[in-house]
Amino acid sequence: MKPLAERMRPASFNDMIGQSHLIAENSILFNLVKSGQLPSIILWGPPGSGKTSLSHILARELNRTIFTLSAINSGVKDIRDIFEKISKTNLFSESNPILFIDEIHRFSKAQQDSLLSEVENGSVVLIGATTENPSFEVISPLLSRCQVYLLKPISSEELEKLILRAINQDSILKQKEIELHETKALIEFADGDARKLLNNLEIVINFLEKKSGISSESTKTKKLLITNDVVEESLQQKFIRYDKNGEEHYNIISAFIKSMRGSDPNGAVYWLARMIESGEKPEFIARRMVILASEDIGLANPNALLIAMSCFDAVHKIGWPESRIILSQTAVYLAVSAKSNSTYMAINSAQEIVKQTGNLQVPLHLRNPVTGLLKNLNYGKEYKYSHDYENNFSEQDYLPDEIKSTVFYTPGKNMREVEIKNHLKNLWQGHYKYE
């Protein structure tokens, strides 16, 4: 018997739940199908977002033959064999067939190179499916010959529709007496993955039947009550109550940030683990650490921002579950780093002055005399080019007259910024007061 996820695979755009931005009326793929034309495309999206289903729907709607390869267990020879079949099929075909390659990012450069000529001459329409950013994982010559379409995770509302559709329309499940009391755990465990949702639903139903002493093939009916606790018990996985759009979401990210700001790596790692176990998006966590690296560490350790940005870049390329290691390394690094909010306070102070004083005039010596007329108006006159002076420094005013000598940046009380303060005091003497 086919698994539930396979039985529920959509056969048309109307059957498909999710990706309305691509398949709804007058959307990109809808219009392509309507025109009868389909370029080679890359479908980029998370697991269970419908990449495989969409590929087969496109083939069906366009009445094209589709050949399928999985990059996990296919090589150049398999590609050549497919092209040979396509060549024979194409002798009497009016429309070019589709070659669907799942997990195309797993193909080596040589394997991707072997696709180029057939894709370029149009003898085959390539549909590649990937969970990774194609900008990094697909070679440029192949990527330039394909349109890239982004698939989104299936939303909670769409996942709930899918649960109800499976229970009411699946040929097997609709014969059972299933009562859906709660859906939150099923939806949270799925994490935007429709296939995972349906697999979990099937596990839960089988668990309830076994618990009731009814085999899955039995014709007997007994009420099967699905609750969050039942889902947790059947999947043997603790349901962490963490609403990504609710108060607890903000409470936990707040605790995470404050633990790093407070130099507690243990608290930081704990709250990070809570978010990971609850299915928080790694990009969200990494983005918040980039902000903290500048707001709370700043010039006390400028490398912190570089580390945080590297983390943000890495989680885009790596994905789960390995990203958790990178996130943990970065969180611990930021937590144990020296702290300073001096640059954060500096821009706040400067913005406040701008709001109070409005558009103060740029001093003439700082203006650029790009024309003779402007030069005659004394633009740039008396400007001192710093590199013409000792230590590449010349004392002059860089602020409007109304606020000259105003200090916005006050170095923090940490080793690095103490050095910066001494350096500034030495340069500016009494012009700016650095106590």
Mean pLDDT value across the chain: 86
Per-residue pLDDT for 388 more than 90?
no
Question: Can you give the residue ranges of every domain in the chain?
Answer: 19-150, 156-235, 247-336, 354-428
Q: How far is Cα 319 from Cα 323, in angstroms, rounded to an integer? A: 5
Our CA dihedral for 292, 297, 301, 304, rounded to 10 degrees, sits at -10
String of DSSP letters for 382-410: T---GGGSGGG------S-GGGTT-----
- What confidence score (pLDDT) does residue 154 get? 92
Specify the DSSP element, H or E, that contains 246: none
Q: What is the 3-state secondary structure (H, E, C) of 181-243?
A: CCCHHHHHHHCCCHHHHHHHHHHHHHHHHHHCCCCCCCCCCCCEEECHHHHHHHHCCCCCCCC
- Say which CATH class 156-235 falls into: mainly alpha
- What confidence score (pLDDT) does residue 292 get? 95
- What confidence score (pLDDT) does residue 157 get? 93
User: Which percentage of the chain shows pLDDT scores above 70?
Assistant: 94
Pick from 385, 393, 271: nearest CA to 327: 271
Q: Please state whether 29 falls in left (phi above 0), alpha (psi between -120 and 50) or beta.
A: alpha
Which of 73-82, 143-152, 234-243, 341-350 has the lowest average pLDDT? 234-243
- Say which CATH class 354-428 falls into: mainly alpha
Query: Under a CB-based contact definition with an 8 Å cutoff, are residues 159 and 187 in contact?
Result: yes
How far, rounded to the nearest angstrom, does the alpha carbon of residue 288 sit from its chain's CA centroid? 13
State both tokens at 53: 């289903």
Domains 156-235 and 354-428 belong to one CATH topology: no
Give tens-digit pLDDT for 317-376.
877 778 899 999 999 999 999 899 988 999 888 988 888 888 888 888 778 877 878 777
Per-residue pLDDT for 217 more than 60?
no
- What confidence score (pLDDT) does residue 247 get? 52
Pick from 42, 66, 29: nearest CA to 128: 42
- Say which CATH class 247-336 falls into: mainly alpha
Q: Are strands 98-102 and 224-226 parallel, antiparallel or unpaired?
A: unpaired
| 42 φ, ψ (degrees, to nearest 5) | -115, 125
CA distances from 65 to 31, 166, 330, 387 (A): 20, 28, 48, 69
Pick from 121, 147, 126: nearest CA to 71: 126
Specify the DSSP element, H or E, that contains 339: none
Pick from 150, 166, 169: nearest CA to 54: 150
CA distances from 431 to 365, 381, 406, 420, 425 (A): 18, 21, 9, 16, 9
- What confidence score (pLDDT) does residue 165 get? 95
Give tens-digit pLDDT for 11-22.
999 999 999 999
Q: How big is the chain, counted in residues?
A: 435
At the topology level, CATH places domain 19-150 in: Rossmann fold (3.40.50)
Q: Is the dihedral angle over the CA atoms 16, 22, 26, 30 positive or is it negative?
A: negative
CA distances from 59 to 36, 38, 127, 138 (A): 11, 10, 10, 23
Per-residue pLDDT for 41 more than 80?
yes
- Identify the band that residue 92 occupies on the pLDDT scale cut at 50, 70 and 90: very low
